[in-house]
Amino acid sequence: MSQEKVSIIIDGEEVGAAPGQTILLAASEAGIYIPHLCYHKDLSPGGHCRLCTVKVNGKPTNACTMEVGRGMVIENDTEELNLQRRHLIEMLFVEGNHICPYCEKSGNCELQALSYRLGMLAPGYPYLFPRKELDASHPDVYIDRNRCILCGRCVRSSREKDGKCVFGFEGRGIKTRLAVNSARGLSETEMTAADRAASYCPTGSLMLKRVGFKMPVGTRLYDRKPIGSDIEEKRE
């Protein structure tokens, strides 16, 4: 027998959710897109990007970790929240050194796609122009920290999907950086081109070598449809 559904309201619409489900998952299943970046459906939530912040009974809450509860009234697609989400995207753009026009990931990049979806024209904050390291030591995979947004997807997927621990973090505050499980670079870790971890990077930071332009720009995933369309199509 299936467990009884929990009824919640998202932007005025009643949604039935399984008990124990997160708000983000319940919304997705109902065809409601809650913008997110560090979250991936295959992985445990990270809580880094805060893009999926919704208001639950008026209180800002993380949709990727918060479980549904009876009587929750949730605001998601509001002007206020979308503006705040855009600000977070702007922060990520000035924190790194992003090169959309000639980035290999352009068109498949979730950061870029979200900036389009949320209406960012240019970041409203001053660029920080940090100096970031590149790790090209590995024969098949490279890390370009200029484009790393510290979402931790590689950290989690390496552990959860590959049963390894290739990635981690180091430092704190604005100096936080993606680290690898070796003193010398990615080539000295257990990373292989077949690792699932290589496929979860939302930006052009962790990339396979020699396949970057296999698919022409203009025909890529988010060139065709805005991010979130796959979820919203469930409604029609």
Partner 1 sequence: MAGESSLLISKLVEDYKRDESRLLDIVREVQAAYGAICEDSIDQIARELGIPRVRVADMVSFYSFLSRTPKGKCVIRLCNDVVDKMHGLEEVARTFEKALGIRVGETTPDGLISLEYTPCIGMSDQAPAALIGSLVVTSLKPADVPGILQAIRREEGKIGQRGLFPNAEVRQNLRQGGPVFSAPFESGVALRKALNMSPEQVIEEITQSRLRGRGGAGFPTGMKWSFCRKAKGEHYLICNGDEGEPGTFKDRYILAETADLLFEGMTIGGYAIGAREGFLYLRGEYEYLWAHLEQALARRRRLGLLGRNVCGREGFDFDIRIQLGAGAYICGEESALIESLEGKRGAPRDRPPYPVQKGYRNQPSSVNNLETVCCAARILEKGAEWFAALGTRESSGTKLLSVSGDCRQEGVYELEYGVTIHKLLELVDGCEAQAVQVGGPSGVCVAPKDFGRKISFEDIPTGGSVIVIGPKRDLLAIVKDFTEFFAEESCGWCVPCRVGATLLVKKLDKILEGRGTAADLEELKELGNTVKLMSRCGLGQTAANPALTTLQNFPDLYKKRINAEPFIPAFDLPGAFSEFAAVTGRKFKLEDEQ
- 182 lies in the site for partner 1, by CB under 8 A: yes
Q: Provide the terminal-to-terminal Cα distance of the chain, rounded to the nearest Å.
A: 29
- 62 lies in the site for partner 1, by CB under 8 A: yes
Whole-number Å distance between alpha carbons of 103 and 203? 9
- 163 lies in the site for partner 1, by CB under 8 A: no
Tell me which of 30, 88, 99, 217 binds partner 1, using CB under 8 A.
Answer: 88
- 173 lies in the site for partner 1, by CB under 8 A: yes
CB of 223 to partner 1, least distance (A): 26
Tell me which of 23, 24, 26, 95 binds partner 1, using CB under 8 A.
Answer: 95
- 117 lies in the site for partner 1, by CB under 8 A: no
- 48 lies in the site for partner 1, by CB under 8 A: yes
- 45 lies in the site for partner 1, by CB under 8 A: yes
- 170 lies in the site for partner 1, by CB under 8 A: yes
Which residues of the chain form contacts with partner 1 (CB under 8 A)?
A: 45, 47-50, 53, 60, 62, 65-67, 84, 87-88, 91-92, 94-95, 124-128, 149-150, 165, 167-176, 179-183
